[in-house]
């Protein structure tokens, strides 16, 4: 049962990230067809993630109360249909609406999947199971970039959305065949659906390690989505690659490299956890400490040095993926079974409202700003303020009055995006500090949970014994 469920959950997670990242794979084609700015391109990711995060909170509570396989199947089916609908968008507004719908469907994936994994695998095997499930992340991102660039160059960006929708329908059917496990069945101390008294959201936020994990999620996802939106465009502009070549280099650098990080990170985290309770978070901390300078060195390579960029950025992204295997497992270590869907929803709310939603549009705004500065210094555009330039209401007026066209910025976009990408290693350095702080509180939080589950298990056995005795007497 557990093996089949893990395979299906992995496949669903792969399509989750494939359908999400396909925008990054074909985004440069969309931007050129509709003459969009980098800010607008980033906005496609932002609107998706904002609704994803908001809807994720009630869906997290639903994952704690309902049958998770049905919830998962409905979500996969919904986002697959709306991914196909993205391909028929006639303008930017219609594409945004379709992506909003994809966000609603995908918001079911993580709360339901992680809750199932927590009940299917014991604590000693959980990080490895989570790592296998999370392999869908690098594979989905990598395939979306690689296949997206190939489809974009061969048939145009719309076909990519049609093709992406098909496997999701198959996954929706496969999810219905998962056998629903009892909640808390994989724990050392069975507690069923019991939890502490109080507001579920406040109970989760009262755990110190969870607060650090939530902050780490925002920082990490800012970087992940900034890279996801702009690695392929960066390769096209700065390193002058074709869509096809940039897509597959981005696939290896940003996607497939994560396979090693996830598998090695999960195995190492489980091994170190067996020796010390803070072992998983220490593995995550060290991985980010290594990641930050590698990314900085990758971005410092000159235009055309694709091999060195790919080697350094691929290594940096690879170790960065260890974060998922370590942090997701730690969440299960400090939160009781009946609150894990809620905890994951809160975590994902921060990841996507503060992280993923700001990553693409924030990096896009920075790119537009540095692009404008470079163009202004070169005398290519009128030296208007950046705020006026980026105002949607005034942009057409500027075009009429000054003869300004956004296409005049194209020769300077490579320089602007290159400078903006340095945001990523800076935030990675801060993330390492946050994870280290979490490692200092996790031991006491794990002990608190184990003590509570031990007491609750004793009460459960006493109540069950009394119930059996009453049945015998009757």
Q: What is the pLDDT of residues 79-102, one digit of tens each?
A: 899 999 988 888 888 888 888 888
Mean pLDDT of 30-52: 78
Residue 46 has pLDDT above 90, yes or no: no
Phi, psi of 200 (to 5 degrees): -60, -35
The whole-number pLDDT of residue 144 equals 85
The listed range with the strongest mean pLDDT (116-120, 137-141, 254-258, 297-301) is: 297-301
Residue 308 pLDDT class (50, 70, 90 cuts): very high
| Of 178-187, 302-311, 327-336, 372-381, minimum mean pLDDT range | 178-187
The whole-number pLDDT of residue 190 equals 46
Residue 175 has pLDDT above 70, yes or no: yes
Cβ neighbours of residue 420 closer than 8 Å, sequence gap 6 or more: 230, 363, 364, 366, 367, 369, 370
Residue 197 has pLDDT above 70, yes or no: no
The whole-number pLDDT of residue 468 equals 46
* % of residues, the chain, pLDDT over 70: 85
The whole-number pLDDT of residue 459 equals 54
The whole-number pLDDT of residue 305 equals 94
Q: In the CATH hierarchy, which top-level class contains the domain 2-181+198-374+408-457?
A: mainly alpha
3-state SS record for the chain = CHHHHHHHHHHHHHHHHHHHHHHHHHHHHHHHHHCCCHHHHHHHHHHHHHHHHHHHHHHHHHHCCCCHHHHHHHHHHHHHHHHHHHCCCCCHHHHHHHHHHHHHHHCCHHHHHHHHHHHHCCHHHHHHHHHHHHCHHHHHHHHHHHHHHHHHHHHCHHHHHHHHHHHHHHHHHHHCCCCCCCCCCCCCCCCCCCCCCCCHHHHHHCCHHHHHHHHHHHHHHHHHHHHHHHHHHHHHHCCCCCHHHHHHHHHHHHHHHHHHHHHHHHHHHHHHHCCCCCHHHHHHHHHHHHHHHHHHHHHCCCCCCHHHHHHHHHHHHHHHCHHHHHHHHHHHHHCCHHHHHHHHHHHHHHHHHHHHCHHHHHHHHHHHHHHHHHHHHCCCCCCCCHHHHHCHHHHHHHHHHHCCCHHHHHHHHHHHHHHHCCHHHHHHHHHHHHHHHHHHHHHHHHHHHHHHHHHHHHHHHHHHHHHHHHHHHC
The whole-number pLDDT of residue 434 equals 96
Residue 456 has pLDDT above 70, yes or no: no
Average pLDDT, the chain: 81
Residue 276 has pLDDT above 50, yes or no: yes
- What residues does each domain of the chain span? 2-181+198-374+408-457
Q: What is the pLDDT of residues 220-272, one digit of tens each?
A: 999 998 998 889 889 999 999 988 888 889 888 888 888 888 888 878 888 88
Q: Which residue has the higher pLDDT, 109 or 288?
A: 288
Q: Which residue has the higher pLDDT, 325 or 460?
A: 325
Q: What is the pLDDT of residues 378-407, one digit of tens each?
A: 777 666 555 655 554 344 434 444 445 566
Residue 191 has pLDDT above 70, yes or no: no
Residue 5 has pLDDT above 70, yes or no: yes
The whole-number pLDDT of residue 394 equals 41
The whole-number pLDDT of residue 316 equals 94
The whole-number pLDDT of residue 313 equals 95
The listed range with the strongest mean pLDDT (39-53, 216-230, 263-277, 335-349) is: 216-230
């Amino acid at each position: 049962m557990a093996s089949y469920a893990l395979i299906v959950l992995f496949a669903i997670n792969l399509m989750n990230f494939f359908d999400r990242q396909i925008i990054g794979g074909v985004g440069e084609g969309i931007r050129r067809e509709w003459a969009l700015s980098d800010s607008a391109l980033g906005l496609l990711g932002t609107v998706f993630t904002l609704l994803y995060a908001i809807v994720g909170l009630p869906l997290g509570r639903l994952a704690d109360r309902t049958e998770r396989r049905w919830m998962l199947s409905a979500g996969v089916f919904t986002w697959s249909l709306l991914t196909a609908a993205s391909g028929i968008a006639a303008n930017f507004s219609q594409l945004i609406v379709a992506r909003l719908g994809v966000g609603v469907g995908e918001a079911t994936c993580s709360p339901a999947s992680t809750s199932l994994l927590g009940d299917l695998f014991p604590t000693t095997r959980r990080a490895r199971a989570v790592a296998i499930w999370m392999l869908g992340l690098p594979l989905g991102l990598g395939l979306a970039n690689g296949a997206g660039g190939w489809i974009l160059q061969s048939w145009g960006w719309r076909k990519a959305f049609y093709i992406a929708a098909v496997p999701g329908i198959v996954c929706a059917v496969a999810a219905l065949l998962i056998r629903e496990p009892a909640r808390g069945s994989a724990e050392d101390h069975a507690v069923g659906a019991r939890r502490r008294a109080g507001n579920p959201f406040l109970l989760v936020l009262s755990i110190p390690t969870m607060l650090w994990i939530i902050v780490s999620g925002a920082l990490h996802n800012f970087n992940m989505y900034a890279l996801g939106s702009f690695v392929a465009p960066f390769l096209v502009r700065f390193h002058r690659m074709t869509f096809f070549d940039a897509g597959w280099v981005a696939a290896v650098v940003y996607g497939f490299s994560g396979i090693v990080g996830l598998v090695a990170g999960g195995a190492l985290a489980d091994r170190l956890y067996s020796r010390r309770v803070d072992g998983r978070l220490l593995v995550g901390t060290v991985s980010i400490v290594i990641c930050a300078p590698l990314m900085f060195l990758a971005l410092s390579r000159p235009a055309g040095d694709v091999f060195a960029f790919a080697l350094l950025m691929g290594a940096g992204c690879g170790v960065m993926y260890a974060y998922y295997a370590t942090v997701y497992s730690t969440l299960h270590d400090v939160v009781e079974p009946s609150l894990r869907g809620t905890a994951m929803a809160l975590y994902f709310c921060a990841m996507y409202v503060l992280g993923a939603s700001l990553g693409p549009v924030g990096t896009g705004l920075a790119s537009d700003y540095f692009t404008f500065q470079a163009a202004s210094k070169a005398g290519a555009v009128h030296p208007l303020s950046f705020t006026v330039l980026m105002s949607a209401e005034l942009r057409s007026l500027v075009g009429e009055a000054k003869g300004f066209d956004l296409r005049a910025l194209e020769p300077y976009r490579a320089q602007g995006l290159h400078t903006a990408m340095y945001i990523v290693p800076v935030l990675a350095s801060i993330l390492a500090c946050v994870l280290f702080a979490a490692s200092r509180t996790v031991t006491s939080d794990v002990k608190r949970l184990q003590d509570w589950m031990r007491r609750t298990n004793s009460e459960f056995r006493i109540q069950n014994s009394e119930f059996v005795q009453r049945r015998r007497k009757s």
